[in-house]
Chain A
Amino acid sequence: MSGAVSSDRLREAGTAAILAELAPLSLLSAEVRSRLTERARLEDVPPGQSLFDAGQPAHTLCAVIEGTLDVEVPSRGPAPAIIVTLGPGDFFGFECLLPSPSWRASRARAITNARILSLDGDDVNAALLLAEPPARADLAKEGTVSRRLFDALNDDQAAMSAGSAGAPNRRTAIQHSVNKLGNALTSPRLYLALIGFAIFFGLWQLSVDTLRLPRFKELPTLVAVVREWFSTNPDYGLSIFVGEYYSHILISLERVGLAFFLATMLGVPLGLSLGWSKKFREYIFPLFEILRPVPILAWVPLAIVMLPSDESAVIFLTFIAAFFATTLNTMLGVQSIDTSYIRAAYCLGASHKQVFRHVVVPGALPFIFTGLQIAVGIAWFSLVAAEMVSGQFGLGYVINTAYTKIQYPVIVIGMVTLGFVGYTTSALVRYVGRRLMAWRERELALSGVH
């Protein structure tokens, strides 16, 4: 709103008349329209001045009443790129309909003297929910972007609850989490899950302990596992109160962390160059393809023979598993990039380096993160095997020694711990990926794929 030169709050009758004439809004009921007029504003923008700039907070949905406006985005060239030129009756500034806080994606600049009607975004959202479906559909036709936004809004249960029209209804984060908690407690999912676990544990207890079915009776009982795990003085020396338990977890984490780090540091650049340079790919990729079908765990003896210590062999095995997944996915990511992006960048005068930095790397990022996520999973998978075969310490070692020492409850403790730690690390990678690729989530939401 900073660019507005003269903005006067009209008498309600004047705005109402304009609203009644504007094509899609005329379909709204008079009652809903009158709510919209309460905070509607008319602004005159002289030629060359902008109504808003990219990056500013977006609060209003705008319509052109008179004159023409350009919607522009900044470009590397001397002049900004014009997305669309708007005339009387056109709506723009749909960003305000996204969940707040939202920002302007482009700049709106007047070409001729333009008169703009601005409606408060929250009011419009509320009005849309009250509107009859035909009016909603007609508004949606105004632009492809708006249509997707309206679809998203219709799906958004939260927006539905913002029914009190007129007053802005921005929910706070606390309200949101209270709502979520309430939903979780009232939905049947929680209780179904509890039933599921009850059945699982019940079957375990019944088959192993109560009925002592043949074969099953060899397995550790539920009670023995739980008692051992939470005992301050465990029979076999491993429980949540024993420091050794955590040192095993830490050692496994350290190994996976180091291997994962190395795999990312080497695999991502290698994958990028494999995808980027055809020559390099044709030389190196066949070697890769020959080595890849060999299961990681078949490397165990060779790794022990070739590497100086068992520790480095374990890390090597974990590394190589993660490395293949990372490299391959990165390469696929580069190849998945639409070549027209690359050509377009070259046409606009980008250098090799710029194309690589601004097109190839971001384009491959979604695949790279898929690869990293797979890599974490595979890393744990191989770490366990490597630790079981040739390890000192670590969770795989715990499981294997518990077996050979016939400390069966410890096996289950080790397994559950592994599952938990493994799940946590992959969730961490997924979280980082989501944070780094917020732009992609937004894109998916806009394209309606989500």
Chain B
Amino acid sequence: MTIVTNRTFLSEKAGRAITAIVVSLVLWEIGSRSRTWLGVAIPGISAAPPPSAVVIAFLGVVFEISYWYSWYLSSLRVFGGFLIAMLLGIPLGIMLAMNRTFNGIVFPVFEVLRPIPPLAWVPLAIIFWPTQGLSIGFVTFLGAFFTIVINVLDGARSIDGRFYSAAQSMGASRWQVFRRVILPATIPSISVGAVVGMGITWEVVVAAEMISGSGSSMGRAGGGLGFFIWSSYLGGSYEQIIVGMISIGVAGYLCSSGIRMLSEASTPWLKRR
């Protein structure tokens, strides 16, 4: 019985979702073809390519190597920046939480730099780093870095002080306190920071590729999905813009769910029973 009711419930929900998606796709199609079909151009949406044209453009592009190369380049930058941000951000966050003097010296500078949007760093990054790929990677790193540090710091700070005292009074060494108390307690906030940071890296990589791509005439060499969108825009193939947007959406979604799964696997004690 329960299985049957469960299934009908699910299908009702799925039905509603599908209805909504189909209806909006149809509206989009009609809207963007309104000039030819209705004789009246609906402002805004009539400038956008219809979904059917997007599908055709996608089929055209999906067999091109340059499209997949853009995927590869963007992912490389995202993962490079993200991994370095994790490698530097987690120890820094924990040190900021554990050592008061270090916190007093570093944290104010950190707090002054943090509100600067990562993309405002793009020009300086381009000036500083020898290649465009490195400068985009650096900006991506910055995007994730601040979020991760703040999350780790908050997580390590919110540990109940009695846990330290208990561990220390039972004779734990500094390393054991770190390994058995601080690290497990901060993993949840590390993974929250990682999920948020991953989202930001995709945001940043797209923008950095667009900004640096539009600033120079390096052609495909700049590469990446952000540049794919930008060059589609410059080339006037608006369908491809949407193909690029969807690709980045999919890529970002895959990365975020991957990290979420990893973090769930690393914190089995948080699983809801």
Binding site for B on A (CB under 8 A): 188-189, 192-193, 195-197, 199-200, 215-216, 218-219, 279, 282-287, 290-291, 293-302, 304-308, 380-381, 384-385, 388-389, 395-396, 399-400, 402-404, 408, 411-412, 414-416, 418-420, 422-423, 426
Are B115 and A282 in contact, CB atoms less than 8 angstroms apart? Answer: no
Can you list, as one digit per residue, whether each of B128-166 has a CB less than 8 Å from chain A (1) or not (0)? 111000000000000000000000000000000000000
Chain B residues within an 8 Å CB radius of A403: 122-123, 126-127, 215
Does any Cβ of A come within 8 Å of B119's Cβ? Answer: yes
Question: How many residues of B are in contact with the other chain, CB < 8 A?
Answer: 63
Q: With the chains together, A414 CA to B108 CA distance in Å? A: 20
Question: Can you name the residue of chain B whose Cβ is closest to the Cβ of A312?
Answer: B44
Chain B residues within an 8 Å CB radius of A297: 203, 206-207, 210, 226
Contact of B128 among A216, A380, A384 (CB under 8 A): A216
Are A389 and B250 in contact, CB atoms less than 8 angstroms apart? Answer: no
Q: With the chains together, A395 CA to B13 CA distance in Å? A: 45
Question: Can you name the residue of chain B whose Cβ is closest to the Cβ of A401?
Answer: B123
Are B13 and A282 in contact, CB atoms less than 8 angstroms apart? Answer: yes
Question: Can you name the residue of chain A whose Cβ is closest to the Cβ of B236?
Answer: A305
Are A306 and B214 in contact, CB atoms less than 8 angstroms apart? Answer: no
Question: Can you name the residue of chain B whose Cβ is closest to the Cβ of A294?
Answer: B249
Query: Would you list 21 pairs from A and B whose C-beta atoms are within 8 A, ordered by A residue?
Result: A188-B104, A189-B104, A196-B104, A200-B109, A215-B128, A219-B128, A283-B17, A283-B20, A284-B20, A286-B17, A286-B20, A294-B248, A295-B203, A299-B245, A305-B47, A305-B48, A395-B120, A403-B122, A415-B120, A418-B117, A419-B116
User: Min CB distance, B102 to chain A, in Å?
Assistant: 9
User: Min CB distance, B215 to chain A, in Å?
Assistant: 7
Are A423 and B115 in contact, CB atoms less than 8 angstroms apart? Answer: yes
Are B124 and A219 in contact, CB atoms less than 8 angstroms apart? Answer: yes
Given contacts A295-B202, A300-B210, 11 further A-B pairs with CB under 8 A are A192-B105, A195-B105, A282-B13, A287-B24, A291-B249, A293-B256, A294-B248, A307-B44, A399-B120, A412-B124, A418-B117
Does any Cβ of A come within 8 Å of B168's Cβ? Answer: no
Residue of B48, B115, B246, B253 most packed against chain A (CB within 10 A): B115
User: Min CB distance, B72 to chain A, in Å?
Assistant: 18
Q: With the chains together, A293 CA to B248 CA distance in Å? A: 8
Are A196 and B108 in contact, CB atoms less than 8 angstroms apart? Answer: yes
Does any Cβ of A come within 8 Å of B211's Cβ? Answer: yes
Are B203 and A196 in contact, CB atoms less than 8 angstroms apart? Answer: no
Chain A residues within an 8 Å CB radius of B113: 419
Chain B residues within an 8 Å CB radius of A385: 117, 119, 207, 210-211
Contact of A294 among B21, B108, B246 (CB under 8 A): B246
Q: With the chains together, A399 CA to B118 CA distance in Å? A: 12
> Given that A296-B203, A305-B238 are known contacts, is A418 also in contact with B128, CB under 8 Å in the complex?
no
Chain A residues within an 8 Å CB radius of B242: 302
User: Min CB distance, B144 to chain A, in Å?
Assistant: 13
Question: Can you name the residue of chain A whose Cβ is closest to the Cβ of B209?
Answer: A297
Are A416 and B116 in contact, CB atoms less than 8 angstroms apart? Answer: yes
Are A219 and B17 in contact, CB atoms less than 8 angstroms apart? Answer: no
Does any Cβ of A come within 8 Å of B16's Cβ? Answer: yes
Does any Cβ of A come within 8 Å of B266's Cβ? Answer: no
Are A304 and B104 in contact, CB atoms less than 8 angstroms apart? Answer: no
Q: With the chains together, A153 CA to B246 CA distance in Å? A: 55
Chain A residues within an 8 Å CB radius of B69: none
Q: With the chains together, A422 CA to B118 CA distance in Å? A: 12
Question: Can you name the residue of chain A whose Cβ is closest to the Cβ of B143?
Answer: A381
Chain A residues within an 8 Å CB radius of B16: 279, 282-283, 286
Q: With the chains together, A422 CA to B114 CA distance in Å? A: 10
Does any Cβ of A come within 8 Å of B197's Cβ? Answer: no
Contact of B117 among A192, A304, A384 (CB under 8 A): A384
Question: Can you name the residue of chain A whose Cβ is closest to the Cβ of B196?
Answer: A374
Chain A residues within an 8 Å CB radius of B210: 297, 300, 385, 389
User: Min CB distance, A298 to chain B, in Å?
Assistant: 4
User: Min CB distance, A304 to chain B, in Å?
Assistant: 7
